[in-house]
Amino acid sequence: MIPGGFTDPRPATPEIQEIANKVKPVLEKEENRTYATFNALEYKSQVVAGTNYCIKVQVSDDECVHLRVFQPLPVENQDPKLVRYWTGKTRDDPLEC
């Protein structure tokens, strides 16, 4: 890991799935689309004044989206925020944010 950079990709955990689920409504509104499938597959993280996450989420049999999410510090008591996203990705695309 590069100091201040993102970690290498890791398999998604239940905590990462929960973060993805919290920003799902924002993505659906932005894309004017409903995702029946929304399974976090892998993620990278970067500690800042909070945590940045890059999350690969499977949204259909052959499509993924990459999410960039910021999770404020726990003392701020705020939900994660969808910062940016990339659609039209596949399972084989490297996770980049």
CB of 9 within 8 A of CB of 33? Answer: no
**What local confidence, expressed as pLDDT, does residue 46 receive?**
95
Domains of the chain: residue spans and CATH: 10-89 (3.10.450.10)
* Prediction pTM value: 0.93
**What local confidence, expressed as pLDDT, does residue 54 receive?**
98
Query: Distance between CA 72 and CA 60 in Å, rounded?
Result: 29
**What local confidence, expressed as pLDDT, does residue 96 receive?**
85
CA 81 to each of CA 3, 63, 87, 92, 93: distance values in angstroms, whole numbers, following the listed order: 23, 22, 17, 26, 23
Could you state, in chain order, the average pLDDT of each consecutive group of 10 residues for the chain (97 residues)?
78 98 98 96 95 97 97 93 97 92
Query: Distance between CA 28 and CA 21 in Å, rounded?
Result: 11
**In the chain, which residue ranges form alpha helices assigned H by DSSP?**
14-31
Q: What is the CA radius of gyration of the chain?
A: 13
Query: Distance between CA 7 and CA 5 in Å, rounded?
Result: 7
